[in-house]
Chains A and B, each alone.
Chain A
Amino acid sequence: QKEVEQNSGPLSVPEGAIASLNCTYSDRGSQSFFWYRQYSGKSPELIMSIYSNGDKEDGRFTAQLNKASQYVSLLIRDSQPSDSATYLCAVQSGGSYIPTFGRGTSLIVHP
């Protein structure tokens, strides 16, 4: 059973701070990792993907991957109230092309 674990939160950060969202996964053969943002009542939207160990930056977002520790994280710099949403981690294993989703972490950015 492939598992993807996320703290459901909510994670509350002040505007302008760095929000750090974490995800662990059970399948060591996992190859591709995705972060989706889901606003309340809306569908998930892909915001980041990462495939190699290390950091990948895109604007205010940085994804970090550590395959040895089976850990992937998403950092949001200069957090804005508009970043308030649920962030879903999805992990795609080497044997199956279908990602397994975590339950998501709720982020609240307060002014």
Chain B
Amino acid sequence: EAGVAQSPRYKIIEKRQSVAFWCNPISGHATLYWYQQILGQGPKLLIQFQNNGVVDDSQLPKDRFSAERLKGVDSTLKIQPAKLEDSAVYLCASSLASGQGYGYTFGSGTRLTVV
């Protein structure tokens, strides 16, 4: 099966600019997650979607970050305006369902550098 697709792979922007990331999960996976991974740290959840509804966005900095999942498939994550501390790898993951025991499949990630 095809994996989780993400684009772009790399992005360099200046602070206060905006940026958007795209994710296409594995076909049939109802649950989609966006994670932020800062160098040397484990992934930190930003937002979880179940189909096209938001399940958990408690750790999403809503003053600058937004995400949507139209039609319950693809998703986009946007940062506007970006700050230096947003430099990280943004990982999209999907799973068949949300529940105990369901592991994730991660995409290759987007490495964001804010200068």
Contacts and interface: CB of A to CB of B under 8 A. Distances in A.
A8 B41 CA distance: 9
Given A98-B48, A98-B56, A44 B43 contact: yes
B45 A98 contact: yes
A32 B105 contact: no
Q: Is the interface of B mostly helix, strand, loop or mixed?
A: loop
Interface residues of A, number: 25
A31 B43 contact: no
Given A4-B42, A8-B40, A44-B43, A97 B106 contact: no
A77 interface: no
B86 to A, nearest CB: 19
B42 A104 contact: yes
A48 B36 CA distance: 22
A32 B100 contact: yes
A103 interface: yes
A71 B100 CA distance: 18
B103 A88 contact: no
B43 A46 contact: no
A31 B44 CA distance: 19
A97 B108 contact: no
A46 B103 contact: yes
B104 A46 contact: yes
Contacts of A101: 42-44
A51 B41 CA distance: 24
B40 A103 contact: yes
Interface of B: 33, 40-45, 48, 56, 91, 98-109
- Please name the 8 residue pairs, one residue from A and one from B, whose CB atoms are nearest each other, closest first: A101-B42, A43-B106, A46-B103, A103-B42, A97-B98, A32-B101, A101-B43, A43-B109
10 contacts: A6-B42, A31-B101, A43-B107, A49-B103, A97-B98, A97-B102, A98-B56, A101-B42, A103-B40, A104-B42
